[in-house]
């Protein structure tokens, strides 16, 4: 059973516009959430994270929003750049319970068109 779901397999946006990637989770024990970016033939690269005690975290062009009641988080990229084209993975963990393993979604392929 998928505990972390990314329901959009792909997303296409124009350069300079906002990209919004969505993620839903079912396990209420998750208390730490992360986004990773992955290029082909490379390992995932950490982008940004958020603890369940916050509802927003911002780092440059990247902002993650967390809605605990809806068990939903989103990653906003603004402005989007062609170099942002990659697969984005949402991941969750429960470090508060000393459970550090990451549970990943299936990923969303973002294409930013020039």
Provide the binding-site residues for other proteins, judged by CB under 8 A.
4, 32, 34, 36, 41-46, 49, 89, 91, 93, 95, 99-107
Q: What is the pairing mode between strands 32-38 and 62-67?
A: unpaired
**C-beta of 17: minimal distance to other proteins in Å?**
26
Least distance CB 90 / other proteins (angstroms): 8
Q: Hey, CA dihedral for 30, 32, 33, 38, is it positive or negative?
A: negative
Q: Which of 113, 106, 112 is nearest to 8 (CA)?
A: 106
Q: Indicate the residue among 16 and 96 with the shorter CB distance to other proteins.
A: 96
CB of 15 to other proteins, least distance (A): 27
Neighbouring CB atoms inside 10 A of 87's CB total 18
């Amino acid at each position: 059973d998928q505990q972390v779901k990314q329901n959009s397999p792909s997303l296409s946006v124009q350069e300079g516009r906002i990209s919004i990637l969505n993620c839903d989770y079912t396990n209420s024990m998750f208390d730490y959430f992360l986004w990773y970016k992955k290029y082909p033939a490379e390992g995932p690269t950490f982008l940004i994270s958020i603890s369940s005690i916050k509802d927003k975290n911002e780092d440059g062009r990247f902002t993650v929003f967390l809605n605990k009641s809806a068990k939903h988080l989103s990653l906003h990229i603004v402005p989007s750049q062609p170099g942002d084209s990659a697969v984005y993975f949402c991941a969750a963990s429960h470090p508060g319970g000393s459970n550090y393993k990451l549970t990943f979604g299936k990923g969303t392929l973002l294409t930013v068109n020039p």
